[in-house]
Amino acid sequence: MRSNLKRSSKHLLPRLMALAVLVGTVMGVQILCQRASASAGTANALMGITVTNNATRDIRHLYLSPVDHDAWGPDLMSEGTVLKTGQSFTISDVTCSSNEIKVVAEDGEGCFVYGVISCAQATTSWTITNDAPRDCGN
């Protein structure tokens, strides 16, 4: 009997160590997954962006795009809508795929102004002024 007990205790320590390593690994993976989903949750959260036109030019179109892309999404203002000086327009339910998003406004002359918005807040704003550099394709 004694020899069986000695043999069992001899193998018990390596088994306990293996179990401890397994439990530690599972807990580590779980913590990493929680952190990754928390980061993704922030980046993919829905938000609203209020665009205010404080420039003397009318804004006729608004687009969104990832910061590092030149291709824009669809026009977010309905046809015929004009954002005049002092007016605001809210873009609802914006989904960010990274930490920032680019907002593109087009004026009545076909020139564009760009703003980069942080996706860290549920609501944010961008104010267009006459000081904003215009891209008129020149």
Residue 38: per-residue pLDDT: 41
Closest CA to 102 of 73, 65, 53: 65
Q: 120 and 87 in one domain?
A: yes
Q: 116 and 87 in one domain?
A: yes
For the chain, give the percent of residues with pLDDT over 70.
67
Split at pLDDT 50, 70, 90, the class of 28 is: very low
Domain of residue 100, residue span: 46-128
Whole-angstrom distance, CA of residue 25 vs CA of residue 34: 14
Q: 65 and 35 in one domain?
A: no
Q: 27 and 66 in one domain?
A: no
pLDDT in tens, 53-109: 999 999 999 999 999 888 899 999 988 899 999 999 999 988 888 889 999 999 989
E strands present in 29-138: 46-53, 59-65, 88-95, 100-107, 112-118, 123-128
Q: 79 and 64 in one domain?
A: yes
Q: Is it the case that residue 30 has pLDDT exceeding 90?
A: no
- Domain containing residue 95: CATH number: 2.60.40.2890
Q: How many structural domains is the chain composed of?
A: 2
Mean pLDDT of 41-45: 53
Whole-angstrom distance, CA of residue 128 vs CA of residue 2: 86
**Global pTM?**
0.65
